[in-house]
Amino acid sequence: MALPYRWQWRIEKWKNALRGFFGVTEQQPRPKICPACGALVGINATRCHECGANLRFSLAALSKSLSGIFGEYESPVTTALLVANVLMLGVSWLAFAATGSGGGLTILWGLVGEPQYRLGASYGPAIFYGNEWWRLVTAMFLHGGLIHIGFNMMALMQFGPALEELYGSARYLFFYVITGACGFLASAFTGHFSVGASGAILGLVGLMLAITTKRGGAFMRELRSRLITSVAILFVMGFSGFMAMDNFAHGGGLAVGFALGKLFVDRQPMNSRERQIAYALGWLAGIAVIASFVLMFLHYSDPTPFGH
């Protein structure tokens, strides 16, 4: 059975992105576009004549190649985050199944315990006394079950694409990681054992709230009112004990997101310097995520507070 046209188009884009990443091309040489400033450069140029960016290797060029794998114009970072969260839910379930505790309805909301600790859950004593700071990052990719990840990923797909388009993929990734990490830092101070992407997602909400304070008009006022109402309901539910919510992670992510929204201009980078800073922030966040998962893997078999 033939694939639908949209999937044929997407697979062809992935192939072209991978060919470009490894320097393989089947097309005739033609002028190139500088990924850093967008200037048209010569066929044989190795460096942009406008901004000086290296066309063979630079953060901008590499970012452009990698983003094409997930769809250059289809929120590549949001898609990658969605995939990473779903994959880690599968890894969590396998870890619980290996201990004999992954059966029944555990997959719905019962993935909390020692396996999640080993996979990098946020836990104050381990972070502050064990210096396991990488947990502030790994925890945002772990969830307590299908219900937990379902709510968070729906929220991510609601807010993520618009903010990624507004700020650019690189800065958006930085915002997501730093707000999520700061949310778990606030949670860790209270000694919580916590997992989930909601701290980072509340960081995105904080960004949107900041945007609505900088832009006028009835639509922005209405959007701000709806966001504030939703956040208030979320915190009331958390403090009421109706659901197991980490209000400290939510509050930390929300506050940092709002501050970043006030600090950064709400638009795409406009010149080569802004683009270079944005790519540097994005790569800093990406490297932090990769390094955190490497450290989690290296410490996976360490003794735990659970007595095993």
pLDDT tens profile 74-123: 689 999 999 999 999 999 999 999 998 877 788 888 898 999 999 999 99
Same domain, 176 and 224: yes
Closest CA to 267 of 193, 305, 194, 211: 211
Q: What is the pLDDT of residue 171?
A: 96
Instruction: Give the C-alpha distances (Å, rounded to integers) separating 174 from 203, 257, 282, 299.
Output: 11, 11, 5, 25
From 92, 250, 272, 292, active-site residue? 250
Residue 145, classed as helix, strand or coil, is coil
Q: Which of 92, 198, 272, 292 is catalytic?
A: 198
What does pTM read for this prediction? 0.80
Q: What share of the chain is helix, strand, coil (3-state, %, to 5)?
A: 65, 5, 30
Residue 15: per-residue pLDDT = 60
Residues in the chain: 308
Same-domain pairing of 161 and 271: yes
198 is catalytic: yes
Distance set, CA 109 to CA 103, 106, 129, 183, 224 (Å): 12, 6, 29, 21, 31
Domain end call among 54, 69, 84: 69
Known catalytic membership, residue 148 = no
Final residue before a domain boundary, out of 38, 53, 69: 69
In a domain? residue 47: yes
User: Domain count of the chain?
Assistant: 2
Percent pLDDT > 90 in the chain is 60
Percent of the chain with pLDDT over 70: 75
Answer whether 253's CB lies under 8 Å from 183's CB: yes
pLDDT beneath 70: ranges in the chain: 1-44, 49-74, 241-242, 307-308
Residue 93 sits in the same domain as residue 219: yes
Q: Is residue 303 part of a domain?
A: no
Distance CA 100, CA 96 (A): 6
Q: Residues 81, 65: one domain? A: no
